[in-house]
Amino acid sequence: MDTQNSRKIIVLLITTLFMLSPFLMTTTNGQTAPTDLTGKNIAVYYGDPSSSVLSRTALQFMFSWMNASVDVLYASDISAGNLSDYDMIVVPGGWAGTYNEDLAGAGIIEIRNFVRDGGAFFGVCAGAYFGCDKLLWEGYVLEYPLNLFDGYGIGPVEEIALWPNFDMTEIIINQTSPLIDLSEEPANHSIMYYGGPWFDIAGKEGIHSLGTYAANNESAMIAFEYEDGRVFLSGPHPEWEEDSNRDNVVSYDNDFDDLGSEWDMMLTISLWLLENRGSETSSPTSTSSPTSTIPEEPFNLDPILIIGGISFGAVVVALVLLKRRS
């Protein structure tokens, strides 16, 4: 074999290897970001008789629309430790003072520990008051025990409606929030207001305003991390659909127009709330030591190194053959 033919063989080998390289390489696809709450378990609190049936019903239908599995839990369920089966607890509108009474002691501790250990808390109106450390209600200061938000929930917002009246209100959306991407949301939403709080977040680090009341320019919706968990509190009622019956609530449909739905925004917020939650909510039952439950990393070779090694070997073999025939 002459030198020229040997060189052609070497070039042909290398060219063939690199042409085959896309088929030899195994690619690892990145994890696709979830688009709904499939696989997530949501507990909606039933504070009978103080919780709003309309708020609770709309929240159940809203989270079902997000493809979550939704159950109703009573105070006795929460106090018994049943939150461990869920990813998020949702507290509807109603009367927060009664929530404190019904959940006093064990229930409050269970909720706080649930959020601290990585669970999510979604509170609307009375549920938002319930998550605050202090309330300023019609001039009276009240101390609340759950204290997820270490600040004041202040209400009612008299610029919108005097209690117990209600009305639609304009919420200015923080489209540039560094916490949750709301850039695709409209500049404002028209949302039902029924006595909920605004949140005094002045000087509070880590508390992010997602929307403000146009009526007083104060925070209407806030979100933040609480140790390993996450929290969303809303003064107005984004769960109610005044233009649709998909929330299974018809009480306000003939009287108000919300000029669009807030459910897509609530889905975006809920995806953030549950971002760090795995598909399994219960703890492993195995009693094995931690080291025995961690799988060993498989020994993987970089495909580029494999191809390079084969190419180098082919060149060496070709050169040896060339030398023997020269």
Give the pLDDT of residue 286.
Answer: 30
For the CA atoms of the chain, what is the radius of gyration? 29
- Give me the pLDDT at residue 30, please: 57
Q: What is the mean pLDDT of the chain?
A: 84
Cβ within 8 Å of residue 293, ≥6 positions away? 284, 286
pLDDT of 250: 83
Place of tokens 């605004």: 198
Q: Which helix (H) or strand (E) holds 265?
A: helix 263-273
How far apart, in Å, are the Cα atoms of 156 and each of 150, 198, 263, 313? 19, 8, 24, 78
Least confident of 32-36, 224-228, 289-293, 314-318: 289-293
Query: What's the rounded Cα separation, in Å, for the pair 157 and 193?
Result: 9
Cα–Cα distance between 231 and 276 in angstroms, integer? 13
User: Is-contact 26 301, C-beta < 8 A?
Assistant: no
**% of the chain with per-residue pLDDT over 90:** 68
Does an H or E element contain 55, and which? Answer: helix 53-65
Q: Is the predicted pLDDT of residue 97 greater than 80, yes or no?
A: yes
Each residue's pLDDT tens digit, 212-264:
999 999 999 999 999 999 999 999 999 999 888 999 998 777 678 888 899 99
* Residue range 64-77: mean pLDDT, rounded: 98
Hey, where are the domains in the chain? 3-24+303-325, 41-273
Phi-psi region of 317 (alpha: psi -120 to 50; beta: other; left: phi over 0): alpha
The mean pLDDT value for 3-30 works out to 49
Buried b (16+ CB within 10 A) or exposed e, 81-116: eebeebbbbbbbbbbbbbbbebbeeebbbbbbebbe
162: Cβ–Cβ under 8 A, 6 or more apart, which residues?
156
pLDDT at residue number 2:
56
Phi then psi dihedrals of residue 23, to 5 deg:
-85, -25
- The predicted structure's pLDDT at residue 56: 97
- 42 contact partners, CB below 8 Å, separation of at least 6: 63, 68, 69, 70, 71, 86, 87, 88, 89, 90
pLDDT in tens, 162-176: 999 999 999 999 999
Q: Which helix (H) or strand (E) holds 47?
A: none
Crossing angle of helices 53-65/263-273, nearest 10°? 70
pLDDT on residue 1: 53
**Kind and range of the H or E element at 159?**
none
**Residue, of 295 and 276, whose pLDDT is higher:** 276
Whether residue 325 is predicted with pLDDT greater than 70 in this model: the reply is no
Flag whether pLDDT at 100 surpasses 60: yes
Q: Which of 11-20, 32-41, 108-117, 258-267 has the highest mean pLDDT?
A: 108-117
Domain 41-273 belongs in CATH node 3.40.50.880? yes
User: Quick one: average pLDDT of 258-284?
Assistant: 81
Q: Up-side HSE of residue 120: CA atoms within 13 Å toward CB? A: 25
277 has a pLDDT exceeding 80:
yes
Residue 73 neighbours by CB distance under 10 Å: 20
